[in-house]
Structure 1
Amino acid sequence: MTTRAVGQQQTFLIVVIGDACHPQWNSLWSAFDRSDFLVTGPTLQTARDLAIAGLHPDLLILFEDHVQQFAEGDWLSFYACSPLTRTVIVFTDWCESEPRTGSPLPGVIRIHWLRWMTSGKSLLASFRNQSIASWHLPPTSSEEERLLADLPQSVSKHNHTWFRRIGIVTPSRESFTWLEQAASSFADSVFWLTQEDIPIQTNGSPDLLIIDSFEEPATTQRMIDTLRRGAWPGISSDTSCLVLLNFPRWEAVNELLCLGNVRVLPKPTLLTDLEQAITDLRGPMRTRTDC
């Protein structure tokens, strides 16, 4: 068992269980607050021992890198000792289909690792002030009930715009329609373009590109490079990009992040995550330091 004090004041006890040698393990830590008291361990026995000792975690995070990594019996044994602890599974690439084809743990919230990396900090902040409705529903709540509970928390209800023009790159009109509706409140104008429209554009350059990618990550990289290097007169070489990917893999995401000023979200994409990512792109981006 490893204990990490991320600050001087103990305000929130979070237990993180999983394989610390997995490369995506490090993507968890940027979400935590400096006042959090973190305990890590390889198995659920760590969390159960704390609960038996009277130290009930505010939040239990299970980092799942392979299917059925955590036995239901072990989780229920912990839950019996600490029934008020909210449990969240942050799952990696190989566990995406588990809710459909496997036996996921009952009563837990499942979050894709990439969603956690991009939105984990805001999710935890909302959990602390009890403003994330879905995390305070009973453990028996369905995924549909959680989605409906979070819909009223859309951040799009504001009275100002942060971008002049947002360009949405997608081959699908249906995709453009929903992305336009989500992004229109953040910009003075939103326009649609497809790969066939690249590389010559006569209208004004965007200050944010949303790319709904149906291509391989390497093709998406080349597309970003083409768009930034002259698709519009005067476009900045570091124009902010928000990329939506099917089944994003760790290596592919890192390569996109290395382009700079890029945010990546998994598909299907939640409206609240999309709006949060657009909001975050207003200011300085968190980029990798090993590129």
Structure 2
Amino acid sequence: MHILLIGDLERREFREAGRTAAAWGDVVEAPDIASAQAALANAERGFDWIVLATSYPGQYTEEQIDGLRRLAPLSRVVALLGSWCEGEIRSGRPAPGVIRVYWHQWEQRVGWEAARWSRGARSTWTLPITAGEEERVLALAGDFLVPRSGRIAVCSEEFACGEWLCAACRKAGYVARWFRPADPPREAGFTAGIFDAGDQGERYDALGRFAAALRPAPVAALMGFPRVEDRQRALAAGAASLLSKPLWMEDLLWEINRLAAGPASHSRSTR
């Protein structure tokens, strides 16, 4: 794959983007639109993805995006969004035809989209820009439900959330069991764990106890619209990775499959 990353990649929200993208292909970085236009004009081969690291709403105008499309009409344009962009759909006007991925969704979303793209499978990022939710669901039907094996421990204060997470894991072939934060697992043998942070005031302490109870099995932590500091604290507490809520099942299953595959596949999240 050939990927063009545009924007200030030194911002804390975006520092991991280049590393994650580089795991799947060749990456060219451009600090601004003018540099990106030069890279597109001089490229020996076309870019598969043009990624706009977007620090705030309106950073890139529709005219600028259309200009990139004229230089690379076959490239898919993706907006990598910082935390300041979280309310843009409600109060702003997102650029049409641009795939939107928040920084805290990036690792999982790029992981499974790039994996499908690279093996020639149908990726949602190859669908027409006018495709809706039905087309997206049909494109992914069954892909994440290849039978797996292993035991997943799910920790959540709310039974409904824990049951949903367990059901998703069971759909993928895992054996899943729910635990409350106050009563973490006492037995060994789990393949991986999922910790739903919820709104608990002591969630990092609870995450630490859950991760310690499961060790050496890795734990994925779930948080609603996390900040960079949340990710850092979750990793310091013992999580192997952080996923954001609202949650796509594809993101969840990709991450659980990755963690369950063993240390070599999930070591990069803890760097």
TM category, shorter: 0.7 to 0.9
The runs of 5 or more residues in structure 1 that have no matched partner are 1-11, 230-234
**Structure with bigger gyration radius:** 1
TM-score, with length taken from structure 2: 0.85
Alignment deviations for residues 112-150 of structure 1 (CA, whole Å, 9 cap, x no partner): 2122124423322322333243111112223x2453244
Identity %: 23
Q: Which amino acid aligns with 1:125?
A: A
TM-score, with length taken from structure 1: 0.80
Does the CA contact (< 8 Å) of 1:30 and 1:117 recur in 2?
Answer: no
Does the CA contact (< 8 Å) of 2:154 and 2:179 recur in 1?
Answer: yes
Q: Distance in 2 between matches of 1:14 and 1:202?
A: 45
Choose the corresponding residue for 2:137, options 148, 156, 170: 148
Counterparts of 1:162-201 in structure 2, within 5 Å, are: 162-163=150-151, 166-185=152-171, 189-195=175-181, 198-199=182-183
Q: Secondary structure at the match of 1:279?
A: helix
In structure 2, the partner of 1:60 is 50
Alignment deviations for residues 74-97 of structure 1 (CA, whole Å, 9 cap, x no partner): 001221232211111111212122
In structure 1, the partner of 2:192 is 208
Count, aligned residues? 266
Q: Which amino acid aligns with 1:219?
A: E
In structure 1, the partner of 2:254 is 276
Q: Secondary structure at the match of 1:258?
A: helix
Q: Secondary structure at the match of 2:237?
A: coil
Q: Distance in 1 between matches of 2:236 and 2:63?
A: 41
Does the CA contact (< 8 Å) of 1:184 and 1:190 recur in 2?
Answer: yes
Does the CA contact (< 8 Å) of 2:185 and 2:210 recur in 1?
Answer: no
Does the CA contact (< 8 Å) of 2:197 and 2:221 recur in 1?
Answer: yes
Which structure shows the bigger proportion of residues in helix conformation? Answer: 2
Counterparts of 1:71-86 in structure 2, within 5 Å, are: 71-86=61-76
Choose the corresponding residue for 1:46, options 35, 44, 50: 35
Q: Distance in 1 between matches of 2:142 and 2:220?
A: 21
> Is 1:32 paired with 2:21?
yes
Does the CA contact (< 8 Å) of 1:14 and 1:36 recur in 2?
Answer: yes
> Is 1:18 paired with 2:4?
no
Q: Secondary structure at the match of 2:222?
A: strand
Does the CA contact (< 8 Å) of 2:184 and 2:209 recur in 1?
Answer: no
